[in-house]
Amino acid sequence: MTQGFGALGTDETLARPRQTVASVVGVARGRHLLGRDWASAWLFLAPCMLVLVGLIGYPFVSAILLSFQAKLVGSPGAWVGLQNYYDLLFGRDLSGAFFQSVRVSVLYTLVAQVLKLVLGMSMALLLHEQFRGRMFMRALFFIPWAVPTLIAGLTWKWMYDGTSVGLLNMLVLRLGVTNELVQWLGNYNLALWSVVVAVVWASTPFWAMMFLAGLQAIPGELYEAAEIDGADVFQRFRSITLPGLAPIIIITAMLSTIWTANSINFVYVLTGGGPANATMIFPLLAYQVGVAGAQRLGMGATISLFFFPVFLVLIYFLTKRMLAEEER
Amino acid sequence: MVALAMSRQRARLTKRVVLFGGLALFTLWTVLPLYWIVVTSIKPNLLIYREPQLIPSQVTADHYTFVLTRTPFLQYVKNSFTVTLVTTVLSSAIGTLAAYAITRLSFRGRAWVARAVVVTYLVPASLLFIPMFQVIHTLGLIDNVVGLMVTYLTFTVPFATWMMIGYFRSVPFELEDAALVDGCSRMQALVRIMLPLALPALAVVALFAFTLSWNEFLYALVFIGSDSQKTLTLGLIGLVRGDTFPWGPMMAASLLGALPPVLVYVVSQKWVVSGLAAGSVKG
């Protein structure tokens, strides 16, 4: 996997294709202003560009334009300047919910990512050891990630059931942890953490797989040498494993942050944002304001866009890493 | 010497305890929810609600029969397969063509195109779904699986292109040069030389495009309303009647719905990891 990243990272051919026999012929014909193969290139690229520009670029621009409009579905919008932004921050009906969603989103993403890092690392280190049935365990631990997130969410909702038929309530009662039924998703102070646990269950394997591939790329001799020098397990982890995995940890964390913060699946299924907005992450608020209910498209777009600068920074660094070598 | 050997032995023992203890905990953590899906789906309602049991004393196929015959579940599955198939085929083809141009052809702006592919892959759906609602509305594709096929291209095409770029670069130029010198056109070179070599890569791309589309929920939720057009993920939510969750049928449907991607992954685990390397799949 590191080789994967290496190859993607330092790619010379992406920036300038090697001189080939064909390209020498091309040079002889005289270099075109648009590049030697421009005609066939853009022909090959046409369908891809149609998707990129028409289905991603255009909606993105119209999201920005929408945020300056008061627009309901099916009606022509009215330009309102920065009114949506103002209402979101200071208006009476939305700013409370919006600031709550900011707080919840940050907590939710941060805690989930830290847990995934710790559990994913532990899982990877265990699966990297030599033992009988290792391939089987890898496949098994991998399954939660392959389960569609919506189905994982439904399953946890059922396990979190607040009556005595819910699995977790059955377990805590039988083990004598408490005498009362726990409202995993109904308790204001507990709901967010219950959602986080479900999210962590589903995506820890992704982190573990990334780390595992990274571990396999660290030369074993390094560990042997360190052992001879008398380094203990923790010292070896700190001075060999962690630095070796650093690039993968960074990429995984950035990718997963974008996906976790922007996915509504778990929250939608588990709590719908409740109780009393305790689990209202911002994409769900954008959905509720912009599409469900009143269908205030402009306001919904504004909510989504508010966080975009944060993701833009992540996207910038990720793109740079993934494309490392770029055209002058 | 003896002391050293003993401390070695103790260290090894500690390591074993940590290893197997850790594996046991992770196994419990992983398996418990999966177990609960399976067990709920085969328990009679009595053992789900009235006298809940951890290990059922009785099993039944009623929930499966109910889901398959009394709900539009099969329609949902059919819709999911249709959308997934079309999206997968289209994005594999589009991605292959684009990746070929980006890695093999010389033209001005190539680096920008490559950058655009990565950036568009990372732009989250949460930002696009509201304006996309307008686009699909304008196209008259609201509440129509065709609308989903179109929108799913927004995440499968950048991803397929990016994966194929990685693979095409690993194919030596010489193979293709020979064909070009022999008078093949670019298209012929792509189809006759590159494509056969890239077949395993194409399989991985198809695999991921399949799973991403199969699991998609947000766009389906926003665009689709009627049973005849619902995909599996959206249909599952629709099994809820009011505030009642019929957990037996829902877990049966969940199990059936999770089976295709889970089987695909268990079978092709090695390829999956190579796909992850491209930094390409949700986590």
Domain boundaries, chain A: 2-16+82-323
Q: Note the pLDDT of residue B282.
A: 40
As a whole number, mean pLDDT of residues A280-299 equals 90
As a whole number, mean pLDDT of residues B12-18 equals 88
pLDDT value at B93 more than 50? yes
List of chain B residues whose C-beta atoms are within 8 Å of the C-beta of residue A152: 33
Q: Which residue of B has its CA nearest to A263?
A: B126
Q: Note the pLDDT of residue B22.
A: 96
pLDDT value at B262 more than 60? yes
Q: Note the pLDDT of residue A140.
A: 94
Paired tokens of A165: 């038929």
List of chain B residues whose C-beta atoms are within 8 Å of the C-beta of residue A318: 118, 122, 279
- List own/partner pairs for A311-314 with CB under 8 A and 24 or more apart: A311/A258, A311/A261, A311/A262, A311/B122, A311/B124, A311/B127, A314/A254, A314/A257, A314/A258, A314/B122
Q: How confident is the model at residue A325 (pLDDT cuts 50, 70, 90)?
A: very low
Q: Note the pLDDT of residue B223.
A: 93
Q: Cα Rg for chain A, rounded, in angstroms?
A: 25
Q: Do B128 and A51 touch (CB under 8 A)?
A: no
Q: How far is the alpha carbon of A277 from chain B, nearest alpha carbon, in Å?
A: 19
pLDDT value at A223 more than 90? no
CA distance A73 to A75: 6
pLDDT value at B240 more than 50? yes
Burial A187-219 (b: 16+ CB within 10 A, else e): eeebbbebbbbbbbbbbbbbbbbbbbbbbeebe
Which residues of chain A from 263 to 292 reach within 8 Å of chain B, CB to CB? 263-265, 268-269, 282-283, 286-287, 290-291
pLDDT value at A10 more than 50? no
Query: Which sequence spans correspond to the domains of chain B?
Result: 2-60, 72-277
Give me the percent of chain B exceeding a pLDDT of 90. Answer: 52
Q: How many CB atoms lie within 10 A of CB B11?
A: 12
Helix or strand or coil: residue A195? helix
Q: Note the pLDDT of residue A167.
A: 94
As a whole number, mean pLDDT of residues A180-186 equals 93
List of chain A residues whose C-beta atoms are within 8 Å of the C-beta of residue B36: 155, 158-159, 167
Q: Note the pLDDT of residue A109.
A: 96
Three-class DSSP labels, B95-160: HHHHHHHHHHCCCCCHHHHHHHHHHHHHCCHHHHHHHHHHHHHHCCCCCCHHHHHHHHHHHHHHHH
Q: Note the pLDDT of residue B214.
A: 94
Q: Which CATH number fits domain A2-16+82-323: 3.30.70.2740, 3.90.1170.50, 1.10.3720.10, 3.40.50.800?
A: 1.10.3720.10
List of chain B residues whose C-beta atoms are within 8 Å of the C-beta of residue A42: 101, 107
Paired tokens of A104: 């919840």
Q: How confident is the model at residue A257 (pLDDT cuts 50, 70, 90)?
A: very high
A134/A32: higher pLDDT: A134
Q: Note the pLDDT of residue A9.
A: 35
Which residues of chain A from 94 to 153 reach within 8 Å of chain B, CB to CB? 116, 122-123, 126, 129, 131, 137-152
Of B120, B151, B265, the CB nearest to A142: B265
As a whole number, mean pLDDT of residues B127-154 equals 93
Q: Note the pLDDT of residue A292.
A: 87
As a whole number, mean pLDDT of residues B229-235 equals 95
Q: How confident is the model at residue B281 (pLDDT cuts 50, 70, 90)?
A: very low
B36 interface with A at CB cutoff 8 Å: yes
As a whole number, mean pLDDT of residues B28-41 equals 96
Of B40, B106, B132, the CB nearest to A35: B106
Q: Note the pLDDT of residue A38.
A: 86
pLDDT value at A8 more than 50? no
Give me the percent of chain A exceeding a pLDDT of 90. Answer: 54
CA distance A67 to B226: 29
A252 interface with B at CB cutoff 8 Å: yes
List of chain B residues whose C-beta atoms are within 8 Å of the C-beta of residue A326: 111, 115
Task: Tell which of B43, B126, B224 to mutate to test the A interface (max A CBs under 10 Å).
Answer: B126
Q: How far is the alpha carbon of B247 from chain A, nearest alpha carbon, in Å?
A: 7
Q: How many CB atoms lie within 10 A of CB B140?
A: 10
Q: Output the CATH code of domain B72-277.
A: 1.10.3720.10
Q: Do A155 and B279 touch (CB under 8 A)?
A: no
As a whole number, mean pLDDT of residues B233-251 equals 87
ipTM > 0.85 (yes/no): yes
Q: How confident is the model at residue B116 (pLDDT cuts 50, 70, 90)?
A: very high
Q: Note the pLDDT of residue A5.
A: 35
pLDDT value at A4 more than 70? no
